Structure 1
Amino acid sequence: MKLSILIILLFITYTAFAQQKHKLTVDEKTGKPMLMGEVSRQAFQDSSFASWFNTQYKFYKPDVKIEEELAPKLKDKKIEIVMGTWCSDSRREVPRFLKVLDEANFPDSSLEIITINRKIKSIDGEVDSLGIERVPTIIVYENGKELGRIIETPIETLEKDLENIVKKPKK
């Protein structure tokens, strides 16, 4: 009995102090739901976002050859995605990019997704120092140092641009 009460109290304490890193708000321009702040990919399964996310994810076909070469090069990398759920480029490119990462077995623990408003602002100012002007902006890091970015749309393909970033010689 005491163990049950302890477990219940621990659960209540955990849920009371758990902080939500993002919020669902309304886009003033369209009146549609918009995410703000740090999100996990599960946030895109909300009914407001699932249709565009799942469609783009499902139908994108990354280059298998590049994927095989890319996977070992992503080891020890961190990737940060800054996007707007209001932005058509973000709605197209981010699900596709996540598919590239999934097929390269990139761990979610090394991925950070930050959603912003139309003024390029996030909840806690996480992106203020990043110099973001257009979204999505995908930033690749190694040992805390920025290796490169994919901004708005890829130059070639998402997987090829990512490969070009991680294979650059270190300075």
Structure 2
Amino acid sequence: MKQVLTALFMLCIFCVSAQEFNKEITTENGLKFLVGQINLEGLQSQPYGKWFQTRYNNYTVDETMASLFKEKLAEYNIKLFLGTWCGDSKRESPRFIKILEAADFPMEQLEIIALDYRKGLYKTSPTGEEKGLNIIKVPTIIFFKDGKEVNRIVESPLETLEEDMAQIVFKKDYVPNYAY
């Protein structure tokens, strides 16, 4: 009986602390968007899957570049801040995910956070993952190593996503758009 109670207690703690993924907001005028932590299933669900899958399928990864930084990239944790309502996020996010997959990036090291669009909540998430990270444009892709930010790609790459990622992981001089 003690083991059953312990198991139930642990299950309750897990359920309470579990992050809700793919939370969807519908505005008064019917606009839908995701907020907070999301995953690939959320991006592939409708109505987001239509733009995500089309842009994912239409993008050709520079395999040479991806294989060049594949090993180094795996040393990083990445946070991708996006807006499912944002044109730049709709363009860059599917490409970025496809590059990560081509580079065999451990996807458990990727955190995707969708930011709000509503007045008063603009570019925030329900659980505040963006706080202290100076997110001014989306998408913002932040590369962390040993818990510290190394660099970021903001809104769009300077060259290509693959080239910018290589610059970051090989610690070359890289100053993102809208550098702070």
Q: TM-score range with shorter-chain normalisation?
A: 0.7 to 0.9
Q: Which structure 2 residues correspond to residues 104-143 of structure 1 after superposition, within 5 A?
A: 104-118=103-117, 119-143=122-146
Tell me if 1:145 matches 2:148.
yes
After TM superposition, the score normalised by the length of structure 1 is: 0.85
CA contact (8 A) 2:77 2:144 kept: yes
Listed one character per residue, the Cα deviations across residues 64-108 of structure 1 (whole Å, up to 9, x for unaligned) are: 110110101112210100000000000110010000000000011
Runs of 4+ in 1 over 2 A off after TM superposition: 13-19
2: distance between equivalents of 1:19 and 1:146? Answer: 23
Return the alpha-carbon distance in structure 1 between the equivalents of residues 161 and 172 of structure 2.
19
Encode CA deviations 1:4-44: one digit per residue, 9 max, x unaligned. xx8xx97xx6796555244100246x632100000111101
Matched positions, count: 160
* Matched letter for residue 24 of structure 1: E
- Separation in 1, partners of 2:20, 2:147: 25
Task: Provide the alpha-carbon RMSD of the alignment.
Answer: 2.1
Which consecutive unaligned segments of at least 5 residues does structure 1 have? 1-5
The 8 Å contact of residues 21 and 38 in structure 2, kept in 1 or not, is answered as yes
Q: Is the 8 Å Cα contact of residues 138 and 151 (structure 1) preserved in structure 2?
A: yes
Distance 1:115 1:19 in 2: 14
Distance of 2:30 and 2:69 partners within structure 1: 40
Q: Distance in 1 between matches of 2:56 and 2:129?
A: 26
Asked whether 1:20 is paired with 2:54, we answer no
- TM-score, structure 2 as length reference: 0.81
Residues in 1 aligned to 2:114 and 2:90: alpha-carbon distance in whole angstroms: 11
Seq. identity, %: 40
Flag structure 2 segments of 5+ consecutive residues without an equivalent: 174-180
Secondary structure (helix, strand or coil) at the match of 1:24 reads strand
Q: How far 1:145 sits from its partner (Å)?
A: 1.3
DSSP-derived class of the 2:56 partner = helix
Distance 1:165 1:57 in 2: 23
- Residue 116 (structure 1) shift: 0.4
1:71 alignment counterpart: 70
